[in-house]
Amino acid sequence: MMDDILFDAIEVAVHAHRGQFRKGTKIPYVFHPLNVGRILHECGCSVLVVVAGILHDTLEDTPIAFEDIQTRFGEEVANLVSLLSEPDKTDTWEHRKEHTLRSLESASEEVLLIALADKLDNIQSIYRALERDGEVVWSRFNRPKKAQAWYYQKLVDVFRRRVSKKPGLSLYEALQAGVEQVFHEPDPNPDLA
């Protein structure tokens, strides 16, 4: 029975994100929510948290409605997905990110875990893109590298305050390392130190 709900979530995500791609790539977008689900599963999260992780971008980025998720996956999954969604996509990038940061300050453990897995997969994707394509990667985003660095550092700060036990702690540590890897500015004159 629980395997069925996972397969249903994967099917919904694949269908909902059909035709969507990761920023500036030909990589199908659905790889991201599936990776989020994988990360949560590997951390030993409950099936419902894994399902919500797989569906976390459906309300925000697809025509799927809250009621659709509620009917198919239940109230708990629908609420988790809703809490992970930005309320107004027409608002500025800065306001949307500030809303996310504020909401994480009081979020449940389940929401924190899904958000951590989401941001971890994003930062790992950015790192791989930087390795492959170099600094041109930043032109794919709505805001430049400096703004992205601000946002990810603020996320790390929130998670540092809010996460105190496993599995969140291991996800936090991986996110922190990824943010350091992506945004660390190498010393232009290493021999002068």
CATH number of residue 33's parent domain:
1.10.3210.10
Structural domain count, the chain: 1
Segments forming the whole domain that contains residue 113: 2-192
Per-residue pLDDT reduced to its tens digit, 121-132 = 999 999 999 999
- Supply the pTM of this predicted model: 0.92
Select which of 3, 4, 42, 61 is catalytic. 61
Q: Is 60 a catalytic residue?
A: yes
Q: Which two tokens stand for residue 59?
A: 């309300």
pLDDT at 189 over 80: no
Select which of 60, 68, 98, 173 is catalytic. 60
**Tokens 């976390």, residue located:** 56
d(CA 29, CA 26): 9
Q: Is 61 a catalytic residue?
A: yes
